[in-house]
Amino acid sequence: MIGRSARLTAKEVGRLMARRRWKGSLATGALLVIVSQGAAEDGELRRSLREAGLIPYWSFTPAASFSYQDVSTGRSLALAHLKGHVVLVNMWATWCPPCVREMPSLQALHAEFHERGLVVLGVNVRDGKSRSAVAEWLTQRGLTFVNLKADDDGPAFPSGFRIPQTFLIDRGGRLLANKPGDSNWAGAAVKSIVQRLLEQSAEPPQSRSDLKK
């Protein structure tokens, strides 16, 4: 029995191929629109990051993984555990005056936004104090945001080593920007960026009792 496809005329075949090309063009066009919209949104975000005094990366790529011990509990905490949160990673040391100077503003930012999905995450580096001594140092100053004790120079993010230095990661785990030197993290421009990132859709953050301080 001769199939239907064998009975198609040359004109019908031409129409069929044209229809397939048209559908393919629609799909390609839709993809280009999505990509261009994403690029425009990232461009606007970069401008906002610069206005807040941060240095945006040219490409928003996944942040390098790391895992260190919590100074208070001794339990390991990895960046992967914070999936779905906006994360502000601050590298610091107790002997560093600029690090100490910006701590109150980090605490203020934590207090305002941690229940909404922001994790202010201190990473203590190149510090001669023990883990327990760092925990005591923080307690004496009323600093309650999560802090980890690094056994190296801290997360392997693209940047030269300097402290204090702070990195911003969005809900999707993308490394957005860094800021060398101390800063006022409770300023209006920074809060606006945090608010914007928290409003982005993402998987619900993992519930962790050790982040609720």
pLDDT tens-digit series, residues 54-82? 999 999 999 999 999 999 999 999 999 99
Q: Do 60 and 137 lie in a common domain?
A: yes
Question: Which tokens go with 125?
Answer: 């580096």
pLDDT for 30 equals 43
Q: Confirm whether 50 is domain-assigned.
A: no
DSSP bridge pairs for 91: 123, 165
Residues of the chain above pLDDT 90, percent? 71
Quote the pLDDT of residue 91: 98
Least confident of 34-38, 90-94, 98-102, 115-119: 34-38
Q: What is the CATH number of the domain that holds 96?
A: 3.40.30.10
By DSSP bridging, strand 86-92 and strand 118-124 are parallel
| 48 falls within a domain | no
* 98 and 72 assigned to the same domain: yes
Asked if the structure places residue 64 within a domain, the reply is yes
* Number of residues that make up the chain: 213
- Position 66 in a domain: yes
Other C-beta atoms closer than 10 Å to the C-beta of 84 total: 14
- How far apart are the C-alpha atoms of 52 and 189, rounded to whole Å? 5
Cross-strand pairs, 165: 91, 180
Predicted confidence (pLDDT) at residue 23 exceeds the cutoff of 80: no
Domain range enclosing 20: 4-39
- Are residues 60 and 35 part of one domain? no
- Is 76 inside a domain boundary? yes
119-123: average pLDDT: 98
121 occurs within a structural domain: yes
Average of pLDDT values for 108-115?
98
pLDDT on residue 32: 38
Other beta carbons within 10 angstroms of residue 209's beta carbon come to 6
User: Is residue 97 one of the residues assigned to a domain?
Assistant: yes
Task: Compute the distance between CA of residue 201 and CA of residue 139 in angstroms, rounded to an integer.
Answer: 34
170 and 123 in a common domain = yes
pLDDT of residue 37: 45
Question: Could you report how far apart the first and last alpha carbons of the chain are, in Å?
Answer: 76
Q: What residues contact 19, with CB distance under 8 A and at least 6 apart?
A: none
CA 84 to chain centroid: 9
| 35 and 61, same domain (yes or no) | no
Q: What is the count of structural domains for the chain?
A: 2
pLDDT tens readout for residues 150-178: 999 999 998 888 999 999 999 999 999 99
Residues 35 and 59 in one domain: no
31 and 133 both lie in a single domain? no
Question: Are both 95 and 22 inside the same structural domain?
Answer: no
Task: Tell me, yes or no, whether 138 and 200 share the same domain.
Answer: yes
Both 63 and 34 in one domain: the answer is no
Question: Are 91 and 176 found together in one domain?
Answer: yes
Q: What is the mean pLDDT of the chain?
A: 86
Residue 123 has pLDDT above 80, yes or no: yes
Q: How confident is the model at residue 8 (pLDDT cuts 50, 70, 90)?
A: low
User: Global pTM?
Assistant: 0.78
For residue 128, pLDDT over 60 is answered with yes
| Per-residue pLDDT at 41 exceeds 90 | no
What local confidence, expressed as pLDDT, does residue 13 receive? 63
CA-wise closest residue to 94 among 122, 120, 127, 121: 127
- Do residue 20 and residue 71 come from a single domain? no
- SS3 state of residue 94: coil
Q: Is 12 inside any structural domain?
A: yes
pLDDT band at 200 (very low <50, low <70, confident <90, very high): confident
